[in-house]
Structure 1
Amino acid sequence: MKSKKLKHIELFAGCGGMSLGLEAAGFQLFFANELSPMAGETFAYNILDEDLQEKVSENISAKNVKWIRSNFSKSMLSERLRENPFKASEGKFTDINNLQDIKGNLLVGDIDKLLEFLDNNPEVVSEIQKEKIDLLSGGPPCQSFSLAGKREKDNHKNLLPLSFARIAGLVKPKVILLENVKGITSPFTEDGEKHYAWLEVSKAFVLQGYVPVCMMLNSKYFGVAQNRPRFILFAFRFDVFTKIKAIYSDNVLLEKSADFFEKVTQNRETLSNIKEESFKYFDIEDFPKLFNGEILPKLTRTAGKFVSAIEAIGDIRRTGVNYRLDKITNGYGSMLNDTFRKESVQGSEIKNHDPREHTFSVKARFRFYQVINEFQNGLRRSAIDLFTGRDVSEEKLERLFEEFSKYNLYFKDNQGEHYRRPKNIHEVDLLIKSIPTKKHSQRALHEFEPAPAQLTIPDDICHYHMETLRTMTVREMARFQSFPDWFEFRSKVTTGGISRKFEVPQYTQVGNAVPPLLAKSLGETIKRLLTRIK
């Protein structure tokens, strides 16, 4: 007998990574909210099966995508999809008036406008509460969030965690799942005082009646081909937490969470006095045994068995090839396609695999990065010093040439562009001086290691293979993030200039997403806990 799906609301939904993983874990989307119409277009296409570009071409309105606010009417879908979301929030048009406009849909727009709607429509809130929502999830920007002191009035992002918590307090889900970057655990200074955003967020949920459990994990431990540290907060509604604690009566995590909840509840007027020593997040690197699937998610990979770059993208290395989903039958890609199965697309070609064009200097630089990946650490450092114009001793230069002479670099001469081995260190130095860059974060993938954490900027990483002197395609980055190959990213591929402030193109959509495999593990843990207390 098939188990009943749990109900799930997704805030800060992005392109749909979290929702895809939670669906695979047994959750059904009740509604989602996302600020960016560009990310929303991808979400609608893959999660809600609605092709908004098709609707534009047919000149009809979206069915499952509603705008909370817009400067354009419902019939002007093309303009809505390219609208600056920060200006849209002041628009006079809205698509939401009652629960039917919300249920099963993606709501595009500012979460504070959604909160405003819920505040002004208590009957809708009451109807949502009757649905008994199991999970509210999302990843609001949190790095400078604090409950105390003066917030930066021009930084809207700093208030978003509070909006998230307030919506939780209104709809009263059983569990909250918050995902964020590692930076949320670093201290920041406000009004001369040191604050920790993760702690402040934890307090905000306690004030809404939720007991937090916090952890720092890494996606690579859950089968994702990326070394991606992530802060995760589970927060259980007090009655739900009480039932869980009765089952796991001697669990150290739950004891600390209960103590923190009581301390915050009893000191509502003096929250700034509750410092970081009052609570704790559990780091997977320090407490791996706690990640056993009881309260914290269970590890599916251990050190030495992480998914590497070559495992993740080796089978789609060549671009210009029509890779078909039904022909990807082995390895990591096949596993993702089976885990997040979609029958309607099984025979189609994979999309988003178009390479970007590069000049000779960029390709030569990428080859340099690939080669120095093979060097030992000390010698790699000397190669970088040579590249950045620092002084390198004669002894190091000799050792560098000895190492460079084992590899083909990428040169350009009268015969054109080609690979060959350098004749001397002077030739290496001349090549390096002809391919300068201001981007010192650039590097090549290590083929036998997971991809690095930050992949939102496509120029930062190049391929590991010597015949592939290019950045990652959107599809390759999606593989690293554990998206299945049928998941198609929509809207613009890249952006630039002033548009960067509000546009969310495909590369950014992938980089900002919650890895679906990680979301699935988190969802399965929450579902198991809720099933146990029924």
Structure 2
Amino acid sequence: MVFVDAFAGCGGLSLGLLQAGWRGLFAIEHDDFAFATLKANLVEGKGPHKFAWPKWLPKEPIGIQSLLSKHGQALEKLQGTVDLLVGGPPCQGFSSAGRRRHDDPRNKLFSSYLKLVKLLKPKVVLIENVRGFTSDFETGANYASKLRTALAVDYDVHDALLDLSAFGVPQRRTRYFVLATSRALGIKEPFEQLKQELPSFLRSIGLQAPISSKSAISDLETARNGTQDSRDTAGFIETKYKAPLTKYQKLMNAGVAHPTDLRLARHNDDITDRFRQIIELSHAEGRLNTSITDEVRAKFGLKKRALRVLDPDMPSPTITSMPDDLLHYSEPRTLTVRENARLQSFPDWFEFKGKYTTGGQLRRREVPRFTQVANAVPPLVARTIGEFLMKAMTAAKRKPSAAKRLQQAAEFRAHI
């Protein structure tokens, strides 16, 4: 079965579908850094999964509007060959983690997504977005409602808010999903079916939800591994790596001796000491995975409200694009890109490209590594949904249509 990924980012959703046995045709991503990661891992890299990629589409960043204007005829020729169109339009204007703006130009891209749906006519459409996508803005615009209405013309539309920690992702991350299925498939209540099959899927890969943050990243602690000079950035150090410890870590590591993206932030002594005290206070007060109190902020002269200390025994809070939003549960530092990637269920062979961070006005135009990880659909979630859809769509193909059943019934009655 064939899929196309629109708004692919660094490729988390694509990776999970490829792991589930789907055939990826191509992916659309306009950001240079995010596409560089996608290309290095899933297009031309040495990883175990790759897109087929058509000859008419250059292997370079492209926005969905440019794709439609430059390659409309080629897309039209694909009608009937694409089983699944996936992708979540950029969510920054909807996200409650920042300032939600109904007039954010990125919010309008989902109308282009709908044009792509009309052009390709896939059997199934899968969309993921932040839960804020379902909220009314001051103008009364509810994008989730508009999306469902538009898709309902040609599809049976199902939607759900899913806690992704139930999928074995070591992170409390609630996301909004839409599954629009061709009426000919006759798939009923897909999200309820998916939830029922989750335990058996997790057992098949040796996991049991929930997965704690310590179970996900304890093998990356500097106290256990030591440090060395960064392999990709002069003037930085990174965590050395020995070996995985837990079932989840072994699944993510899969024999990779030297994972990338282990560069540590350069905290001066004052900041390191401050982080150490905040971690100790948070443990003592039982305030883990939640924002530090006003009293703690006042004590250390902090303005930042989103700072939290990981609870080692629970899934992490939602990963954000700001690397200083989360502190390690025991080490006085922020997390590495690799640790965030583990909390998002990216395997260790998956390498991220581009800047580590960015700031100021560049945040609107660049998607550095921390942001790529934060914006991604966790591959483990995509893999689960991919396996479920393949099973459901295969069963639907074997099932005779309503018209065929009526014909068979008539033939049977005539025979008797």
Give the TM-score normalised by structure 1: 0.63
Which position in structure 1 is the counterpart of 2:408?
A: none
Return the alpha-carbon distance in structure 1 between the equivalents of residues 392 and 142 of structure 2.
28
Correspondence for 1:491 among 354, 358, 366 = 354
After superposition, the C-alpha distances for 1:379-430 in whole angstroms (9 at most, x for unaligned) are 999x8343344xxxxxxxxxxxxxxxxxxxxxxxxxxxxxxxxxxxxxxxxx
Q: How much has 1:28 moved relative to structure 2?
A: 1.2
- Alignment partners' CA distance in 2, 1:380 and 1:334: 25
Secondary structure at the counterpart of residue 30 of structure 1: strand
What is residue 56 of structure 2 aligned with on the other side? Answer: 101
Of 70, 79, 85 in structure 2, the residue corresponding to residue 129 of structure 1 is 79
For 1:222, the equivalent position in structure 2 comes to: 167
TM-fit CA distance, 1:188 = 1.6
Superposed counterparts of 1:344-359, under 5 Å: 346=255, 348-359=257-268
**Matches of 1:198 and 1:220, distance apart in 2:** 23
Which AA in structure 2 matches 1:237? S
One-letter amino acid of the counterpart of residue 340, structure 2:
M
Following superposition, the deviation at residue 492 of structure 1 comes to 0.9
Q: Gaps (5+ residues) in structure 2?
A: 95-100, 228-238, 398-416
| Aligned residue runs from structure 1 range 30-41, under 5 A | 30-41=25-36
Whichever residue aligns with residue 516 of structure 1, its letter is: P
Looking at structure 2, the residues matched to 289 and 387 of structure 1 have their Cα atoms a distance apart, in angstroms, of: 45
Aligned to 1:447: 312
Contact 1:178 1:233 in 2 (8 A): yes
Q: Is the 8 A contact 1:38 1:503 kept in 2?
A: yes
Is 1:476 aligned with 2:339?
Answer: yes
What secondary structure sits across from 1:533 in the alignment? helix
**Deviations 1:344-389 (CA, angstroms, capped at 9, x unpaired):** xx554111101011123322332233123223469999x8343344
Match 2:123 to one of 151, 174, 177 = 174
Query: d(CA) in 2 for partners of 1:235 and 1:454?
Result: 27
Question: 1:111 aligned to 2:64?
Answer: yes
Is this contact kept in 2: 1:309–1:480, CA < 8 A? yes
Alignment-mate amino acid for residue 75 of structure 2: V
Partner of 2:233: none
Contact in 2 for aligned 1:352/1:474 (Cα 8 Å):
yes
d(CA) in 2 for partners of 1:143 and 1:458? Answer: 17
* Residue equivalent to 2:177: 232
Matched, 1:460 2:325: yes
Q: Deviations 1:49-86 (Å, cap 9, x if unpaired)?
A: 349xxxxxxxxxxxx999xxxxxxxxxxxxxxxxxxxx
Matching residue of 1:12: 7
Share of identical aligned residues, percent? 35
The answer to whether structure 1 residue 323 and structure 2 residue 273 are counterparts is: no
SS in 1 for 2:177: strand
Summarize the alignment of residues 379-418 of structure 1 with structure 2, pairs less than 5 Å apart.
384-389=293-298
Cα offset, 1:298, TM superposition: 7.3
The structure number with the bigger radius of gyration is 1
- Shift in Å, 1:143: 7.7
Residue 291 of structure 1 contacts residue 299 of structure 1 at CA under 8 Å; is this kept in 2?
no
Q: Flag the 1:460–1:45 CA change in 2: closer, same or farther, 3 A.
A: same
Contact 2:289 2:310 in 1 (8 A): no
Deviation of 1:323 after TM superposition, in Å, equals 2.0
Displacement of 1:289 after TM fit?
Answer: 8.3
Q: 5 Å matches for 1:284-433?
A: 291-293=195-197, 300=202, 305-318=209-222, 320=227, 321-323=239-241, 327-328=243-244, 330-338=246-254, 346=255, 348-376=257-285, 384-389=293-298, 432=299
2: CA distance, partners of 1:297 / 1:311: 19
> What amino acid sits opposite 2:383 in the alignment?
K
Cα gap change, 1:212 to 1:298, in 2 (>3 Å): farther
Distance 1:498 1:378 in 2: 33
CA contact (8 A) 1:40 1:106 kept: no
* Matching residue within 128, 142, 164 for 2:113: 164
Structure 2 partner of 1:412: none
Supply the AA of the counterpart residue of 1:323. Answer: Y
Q: Distance in 2 between matches of 1:347 and 1:472?
A: 20
* Equivalent residue, structure 2, for 1:204: 150
Task: Say which SS state the counterpart of residue 283 (structure 2) adopts.
Answer: coil
Q: 2: distance between equivalents of 1:49 and 1:477?
A: 24
Residues of 2 paired with 1:65 and 1:517: CA distance?
A: 21
CA 1:498–1:244: 2 relative to 1, 3 Å: closer
What is the Cα deviation at residue 525 of structure 1? Answer: 1.3
**Residues 210-243 of structure 1: CA distance to partner in whole angstroms, max 9, x if unpaired?**
2211011111100111111011111112323xx3
**What stretches of structure 1 of length at least 5 have no aligned partner?**
1-5, 52-63, 67-98, 146-151, 246-252, 255-281, 283-287, 339-345, 390-431
Query: 2:288 and 2:370 mapped to 1: Cα distance?
Result: 33
Which letter maps to 2:216? A
Q: In structure 2, how many angstroms separate the alpha carbons of the residues matched to 1:225 and 1:480?
A: 5
Report the RMSD for the aligned CA atoms in angstroms. Answer: 3.0
Distance change (3 Å), C-alpha of 1:21 and 1:108: same
**Aligned residue for 2:137?**
188
- Determine helix, strand or coil for the equivalent of 2:187: helix
Equivalent pairs, count: 368
- Cα distance in 2 for partners of 1:125, 1:36 equals 21
Cα distance in 1 between the residues matched to 2:150 and 2:103: 21
**Separation in 2, partners of 1:461, 1:30:** 36
Aligned match of 2:374: 511
Q: Which residue of 2 aligns with 1:258?
A: none
1:128 match: secondary structure? coil
Give the Cα–Cα distance (whole angstroms) in 2 for the partners of residues 439 and 464 of structure 1: 18
